[in-house]
Amino acid sequence: MNLSQRLAVLCFLVSQGIILISYVISFQLGHVETCNPFFQGCLNITDAGIQSPEGYWFRGGMIAACALFCVWWAINHQHLKVQLGKASKLNNASAIIGILGAICLIVATAVLVPERKDINWTVHVAGAVFFFILSFVAQTIDTYLLHKSGLKTQLSNLSYKGKLYNVIIQGSMIVVFLILELLKEGELIINAIEWWLALLIALYFLTGVLDWKDKEA
């Protein structure tokens, strides 16, 4: 496994691992209830990373994960530029939007403090929502570029279809998420969608393991 593939694995493991670790610590200490948030939606991801000591793991780990996301987009941009043999506006757009999404999550994470009343919720919620939306847009553009350019034929069936179905599911969930937010209903569903979106975004990054196996680094 080369360095680029290891980065793809780290993007998945760090982002999902830190969420899981924070959640386990928080329910062990009685800070949140025990449930399966993917299906029960009993809490959102942020709830698992506010109080101490899990908050230290969560803030540090998520910011580190976002830094890895930025590097992933840079590597993916360079890889596609070489594969295409030229610069591409779509390639540039996906990388820029993806990095902006990661920066939004850094901002959303940075404002978290142990006392809920002291959190700037406007900044946090806006940063988190923009992360999900911008990551979805960037990954959709990336998938479309692979299809339009014909590069999908150079990918494994698992990689391309995994990306395609991933962004379709993400898009469907975001539509439901935004509708429920506007209606101010379905809090449990919104919470569950947040967990699934975080997982799907991380899985998209993981497909780099399949795409970059021939890279020297």
Query: What is the C-alpha separation between 57 and 19, in angstroms, rounded?
Result: 9
Q: In this structure, how many other beta carbons lie within 10 angstroms of the beta carbon of residue 114?
A: 13
**Is 216 part of any domain?**
no
User: Which pLDDT tens digit goes with each residue over 135-176?
Assistant: 999 999 999 999 998 888 888 899 999 999 999 999 999 999
**Is 201 part of any domain?**
yes
Structure token pair of residue 49:
């990373």
Residue whose C-alpha is closest to residue 111's, from 100, 98, 127? 127
Tell me the torsion sign for CA atoms 212, 63, 132, 202.
positive
**Is 217 part of any domain?**
no
Q: How many domains does the chain have?
A: 1
| Residue 217 confidence class, pLDDT cut points 50, 70, 90 | low
**Is 103 part of any domain?**
yes
User: Which pLDDT tens digit goes with each residue over 75-129?
Assistant: 999 999 999 988 899 999 999 999 999 999 999 999 998 888 889 999 999 999 9
Alpha carbon dihedral 5, 8, 10, 12, in 10-degree steps, equals -140
Helical spans, DSSP H, in the chain: 3-28, 37-40, 54-84, 89-110, 121-149, 157-183, 187-206, 208-211
Element (DSSP H or E) covering residue 215: none
Q: Are 139 and 163 a contacting pair, CB within 8 Å?
A: yes
What whole-number percentage of the chain has pLDDT above 70?
99
Residue 142's domain spans which residues?
Answer: 3-211
